[in-house]
């Protein structure tokens, strides 16, 4: 992947923060971080945050007691996150990544903050006994005092795969997407499934293509709200495409020449594949190598 693309461009994949996973459960250590004179707080409202001057706008913590620690930056300054009702002005995370509104090393902490805040907002009660839960370990666990269950922030794995066949690369599009946009096939993994089998199942469900060998390329946090895109390349065992009309409006094989034209914005039908902030872009380039 490094050879195939500019790693800087992949959205949400880079963070300069040390999450301090070995220390953050220590209440005294956490309280000391909150007292740090330069401690920063990132506010999150839905998928919107504040940016200013090309950077994440974090406000001083000012003696508050936040519960969600993002980590320590290279200068040792702690960054925290908290929910907000509304933020004005603000930018949504997709636009931030798509337009590069903040440096890549600040996009990872935004994904972390958004996913963590979203999880806490929806897990105030125990899924086991219904009692109220409370945040512990700097926000990386919720404890139920009713039944002593521990709940951990979730990450939902999604397989995303570009399949290579004799006629080129398999891409598809959903009817809700912008006109002309084709991308890698993707879907949520199911319980008890390997990454490889999930990818084979998704491709067969969506396009009717059988996939043999599957190779991992790279991953990308996708904080809408808390997915992890697992980027793969697969080798086709069959060629006849049968798109599932419930999932895809179209799926087809794209030749190398077509893909290069799409990348350069000179496809005669105006077709294209996703921008460099999305892992699908890099999977296409990796498959073309």
Interatomic CA distance for residues 58 and 55, integer angstroms: 9
Question: By CB under 5 A, is residue 145 in contact with Zn ion?
Answer: no
Nearer Cβ to Zn ion (52/148): 148
Maximum Cα interatomic distance, the chain, rounded to a whole number of Å: 63
Question: By CB under 5 A, is residue 143 in contact with Zn ion?
Answer: no
Q: Alpha helix (H) ranges present in the chain?
A: 27-34, 93-99, 104-121, 195-207, 256-263, 279-288
The pair phi, psi for residue 244, each rounded to 5°, is -80, 115
The structure tokens listed for 242 are 């049968």
Nearer Cβ to Zn ion (114/142): 142
Give how many residues touch Zn ion by CB under 5 A. 8
Question: By CB under 5 A, is residue 129 in contact with Zn ion?
Answer: yes
Taking contact as CB under 5 A, which single stretch among the options 17-25, 84-92, 112-120, 121-129 is the one that binds Zn ion? 121-129
Is it true that the peptide bond before 89 is cis, omega within 30 degrees of 0?
Answer: yes
The structure tokens listed for 275 are 């921008």
Closest of 56, 40, 274, 39 to residue 172, by C-alpha? 274
> What is the residue-wise DSSP string for 222-253?
ETTTTEEEEEEEEEES-------TTT-SEEEE
CA 128 to chain centre: 28
Question: By CB under 5 A, is residue 136 in contact with Zn ion?
Answer: no
Interatomic CA distance for residues 174 and 81, integer angstroms: 34
In contact, 117 and 49? CB cutoff 8 Å: no
Question: By CB under 5 A, is residue 144 in contact with Zn ion?
Answer: yes
Question: By CB under 5 A, is residue 147 in contact with Zn ion?
Answer: yes
Nearer Cβ to Zn ion (32/127): 127
Question: By CB under 5 A, is residue 17 in contact with Zn ion?
Answer: no
CB of 82 to Zn ion, least distance (A): 25
Taking contact as CB under 5 A, which single stretch among the options 7-15, 81-89, 140-148, 185-193 is the one that binds Zn ion? 140-148
Question: By CB under 5 A, is residue 146 in contact with Zn ion?
Answer: yes
Interatomic CA distance for residues 159 and 157, integer angstroms: 7
CB of 132 to Zn ion, least distance (A): 9
Radius of gyration of the chain (CA): 21
Tell me which of 16, 45, 77, 149 binds Zn ion, using CB under 5 A: 149
Strand partners of residue 162: 233
Question: By CB under 5 A, is residue 127 in contact with Zn ion?
Answer: no
Nearer Cβ to Zn ion (143/164): 143
CB of 77 to Zn ion, least distance (A): 36
Taking contact as CB under 5 A, which single stretch among the options 105-113, 139-147, 154-162, 236-244 is the one that binds Zn ion? 139-147
Question: By CB under 5 A, is residue 126 in contact with Zn ion?
Answer: yes
Q: Which residues bind Zn ion (CB under 5 A)?
A: 126, 128-129, 131, 144, 146-147, 149
């Amino acid at each position: 992947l490094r050879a195939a693309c500019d790693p800087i461009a992949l959205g949400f994949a880079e963070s300069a923060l040390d999450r301090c996973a070995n220390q953050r459960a220590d209440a005294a250590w956490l309280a000391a971080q909150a007292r740090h004179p330069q401690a920063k707080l990132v506010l999150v409202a839905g998928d919107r945050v504040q940016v200013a001057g090309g950077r994440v706008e974090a406000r001083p913590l000012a003696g508050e007691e936040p519960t969600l620690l993002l980590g320590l930056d290279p200068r040792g300054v702690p960054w925290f996150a908290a929910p907000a009702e509304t933020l004005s002005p603000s930018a949504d995370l997709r636009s931030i990544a798509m337009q590069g509104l903040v440096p890549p090393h600040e996009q990872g902490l935004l994904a972390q903050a958004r996913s963590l805040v979203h999880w806490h907002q929806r897990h105030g009660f125990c899924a086991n006994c219904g009692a109220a839960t409370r945040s512990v370990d700097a926000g990386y666990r919720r404890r139920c005092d009713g039944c002593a269950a521990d709940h951990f922030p979730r990450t939902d794995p999604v397989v995303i795969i570009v399949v290579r066949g004799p006629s080129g690369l398999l891409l598809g599009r959903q009817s809700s997407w912008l006109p002309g946009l084709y991308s890698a096939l993707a879907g949520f993994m199911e319980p008890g499934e390997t990454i490889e089998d999930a990818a084979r199942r998704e491709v067969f469900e969506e396009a009717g293509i059988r996939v043999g060998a599957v190779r991992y390329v790279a991953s990308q946090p996708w904080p809408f709200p808390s997915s992890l895109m697992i980027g793969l390349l697969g080798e086709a065992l069959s060629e006849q495409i049968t798109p599932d009309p419930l999932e895809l409006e179209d799926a087809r094989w794209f030749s190398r020449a077509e893909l290069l034209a799409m990348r350069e914005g000179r496809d005669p039908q105006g077709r294209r594949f996703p921008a460099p902030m999305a892992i699908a872009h890099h999977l296409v380039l990796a498959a073309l190598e």
